[in-house]
Chains A and B, each alone.
Chain A
Amino acid sequence: MLAPLHSANTAQVPVAHFSSEHSCLSIDHLSLAYAGKAALRDLTLSVPRHRVTAFIGPSGCGKSTLLRAINRLHDLNETVTHSGKITLEGQDIHDPQTNVTELRRRVGMVFQTPNPFPMSIYENVAFGLRLQQRLPKRKRDDIIEWALTSAALWDEVKDRLHRSAWQLSGGQQQRLVIARTLAVQPDVLLLDEPASALDPISTLKIEELIRNLKSELTLVLVTHNMQQAARVSDYTAFLHQGELVEYGPTDQVFTNPRLQHTENYITGRIT
């Protein structure tokens, strides 16, 4: 498969391949533009199931744009145009048959700044559930406890479930947002720099959480932090100016990058 060439490079893009049974999400020749200004150029990659995949790259390289394309958040912005295909478990997400809200339930997203809703901790986690179906209170309580436990927050908030979520610390808020997303049982969790607004201790907790969640679902992580990508991810994709430069197992990308360009970025020689 030939990917377009990076402006400064004439080598073929080194890309890891997964057979369809290991691939959860595949992105096929995706290009995307904001009001005509290209943000992603002909991107092709596939994300393995039950692994953590990190997207790294300098600011404005398109890694957040790519993440938001996966659960069709760009639908909210009418100036965005795209071409190419994204498939989730073999299903084209832009297919007219696809239910967008169901897609977004299956593909959860956690944003850079914690955004708990202005309601109680309990109601925050119940929000997604209430959108899906009417559940008996006991069942709902069980799911909420499970979600908060999975997000390693239950012990800290079990005594104040009905207090405002805005009283939690930044790290707790971010874990609450993760719990809120987990409550609707997604297949994929997209994390857009989830720890960039947090202190080091909270960051470590989030990273530990990401590693633990791997057994349950597929995670895609966008990060600015090289060490974080190296610590938590199994695969790493390096993007630059809307193009995929290198993609492979994290160990290989960080210790033995195939391209000089990747090495320069990882070692901090370019930003």
Chain B
Amino acid sequence: MKAGKVNTASRRPRFNWLNDLWPWLCAASVALSLLMLGALLALLLVRGLGHFWPATLEEVTLRSGDTFAGHAVREVELPQQAGDERLYFTGNQDIEGARWRWVTIEEIAERAQPTDLIRLERSPWGDFIGRLSAIEQDGQRWEGDAAWHRLATLLALPASQRQESQLLLTTVDGQTLRQPLASVVSAQAPNAMSWWQKTHVWGDGVWRFLSEGPRAANTDGGVWPAIFGTVLMVILMSVMVTPFGVLAAIYLNEIAHQGRLTRLVRIGVRNLAGVPSIVYGVFGLGVFVYGIGGSLDEWFFSDTLPSPTFGTGGLLWASLTLALLTLPVVIVATEEGLARIPEAQREGAVALGATRLEMLTRIVLPMAAPAMLTGVILAVARAAGEVAPLMLVGVAKLAPQMPIDGEFPYLHLERKFMHLGYHLFDTAFHGEDVQAAIPLVYATALLLVLIVLVLNLTAIFLRHYLRRQRGNEC
């Protein structure tokens, strides 16, 4: 006993620092994770949403006497203390041949922010930055402020009701341009706007990003087809994976003899969840697209061969591939839910004269519903963010037709579709104009995060609601 005492006393000082410190280590790791998550969200929010804020236009005069107009995007330090270089977005690609301009700070002689500078969003050719001199329509002519008011009136009308007009535009270095109204999407004079007006323009920009289709090889315009494609694909996937996963889990947990084979199957299912997603893509391409799709084409669509109908990537095959990918998640979650139901509940039902099926459908499955829902939600969250397998089985850079339209049979499962994750990748790496793509990449990434967040929150509330309905938790 005495020896033991001496022993503890001698050990104590050596480990003291760890005893005092370990809660702080744990807290620090939580804090670090939160900090990184917060930084990620903040970056996406600022860069993604900031893009739609009407930037102040500057008229820049260089020491060489050259002038141009645009808005400053960012500054980069030049190597070997050569000063800083600033990137301006200048637009006017049809006149200048480029939309961006790098100038060193030392070159700049003067910067002004005249209120009459305007920015036109056009299609084709993208933005114009300069001044509006006049508007001509059927021999009538408006100049100065009157021209600006006329333009605002015209743009407020729906596109089909706008009368054909010509805009006379002048760049800050004096070049002129005749622009037909038909190719103008929107116009703004950001330097003359109040804060409230800017907010309005910003909201409008965000709305158009969400509701319009992409333009100019995905470097401009909105992402509506991609949102639609993502959500539709995820819904189809859930419809396929839920019954399969739930039935499989019921078999494994309720029916199968709990022997070595069942344990092996269970381990197998759990490990399937860890298979890299691109492998599922390869499987989908080989089995669904070429195998099943090819056979379907031979049997039912032989008159259109060799151009494939189902024998190429499409919505159906993409949903099936992702259903396969998320199947383990649903099985594992449902199985855990089933295993948590107390034996007393099952025995109670059976003791009242319920058959095994009645016990399952009336007691066990309703009680396991929140767990199944958790599984489906995890599956949805995973499927919404998955890109790699989709590239093999049906996603498209630009899908000219939506997968649902007014044409029979309304839901076109063989069509290719757009997906936010792939859109993000394509915009970032395959665009012609990398500088223009950067803010869109942030905005799309933010959108993707928000969609997954919304899906998860829906599930959590639904589960909470189901539990509350039962009056207690299990």
Contacts and interface: CB of A to CB of B under 8 A. Distances in A.
Tell me if chain B binds chain A: yes
Contact of B348 (A71, A111, A164): A111
A119 interface: yes
B344 A101 contact: no
A34 interface: no
Given A78-B257, A127-B362, A166-B472, A115 B353 contact: no
B344 A102 contact: no
5 contacts: A118-B367, A127-B362, A166-B470, A177-B348, A181-B351
A206 B344 CA distance: 20
Contact of A71 (B351, B358, B363): B351
Given A117-B345, A166-B470, A167-B472, A109 B358 contact: no
The bracket for how many chain B residues form the interface is: 20 to 34
Contact of B352 (A108, A163, A165): A108
A177 B352 CA distance: 10
A34 to B, nearest CB: 15
Contact of B351 (A109, A113, A165, A166): A109
Contact of A115 (B347, B355, B362, B472): B347
B342 interface: yes
B349 A127 contact: yes
A60 to B, nearest CB: 18
B472 A104 contact: no
B117 to A, nearest CB: 66
B470 A131 contact: no
Contacts of B42: none
A228 B344 CA distance: 24
Contacts of A166: 470-472
B28 interface: no
A104 B471 contact: no
Contacts of A105: 352-353
Interface in A61-100: 71, 73, 76, 78
Nearest to B341: A118
Interface of A: 71, 73, 76, 78, 101-102, 104-105, 108-109, 111, 113, 115-119, 127-128, 131-132, 163-167, 177, 180-181, 184
Interface of B: 257, 342, 344-355, 358, 362-363, 366-367, 470-472, 474
Contacts of A113: 344
A49 B48 CA distance: 80
A163 B471 contact: yes
B348 A131 contact: no
A108 B347 CA distance: 11
Contacts of B342: 115
B352 A184 contact: yes
Contact of A101 (B355, B362, B366, B367): B355
A102 B354 CA distance: 9
Nearest to A167: B471
A118 B353 contact: no
Q: Is the interface of B mostly helix, strand, loop or mixed?
A: helix
Contact of B347 (A73, A102, A165): A73
Contacts of B470: 118-119, 164, 166
A162 B350 CA distance: 23
A115 B344 contact: yes
Residue among A117, A165, A166, A184 with the most chain B CB within 10 A?
A117
B359 to A, nearest CB: 10
B347 A111 contact: yes
A132 B353 contact: yes
A118 B351 contact: no
Nearest to B471: A164
B353 A128 contact: yes
Nearest to A129: B352
B367 to A, nearest CB: 6
Contacts of B345: 115, 117-118
Given A78-B257, A117-B345, A163-B471, A131 B351 contact: no
Contacts of B471: 118, 163-167
Sort A-B residue pairs by CB-CB distance and give the 9 closest, nearest first: A164-B471, A105-B353, A115-B344, A166-B472, A109-B351, A128-B352, A118-B470, A115-B348, A101-B353
Nearest to A127: B352
A131 B353 contact: yes
Nearest to B470: A118
A184 B353 CA distance: 9
Contacts of A117: 345, 348-349, 363
Contacts of A102: 353
Nearest to A114: B344
Contact of A118 (B346, B347, B358, B474): B474
A81 to B, nearest CB: 16
A215 B366 CA distance: 37
A76 B352 contact: no
Contacts of B348: 111, 115-117, 177
Given A101-B355, A131-B352, A111 B472 contact: no
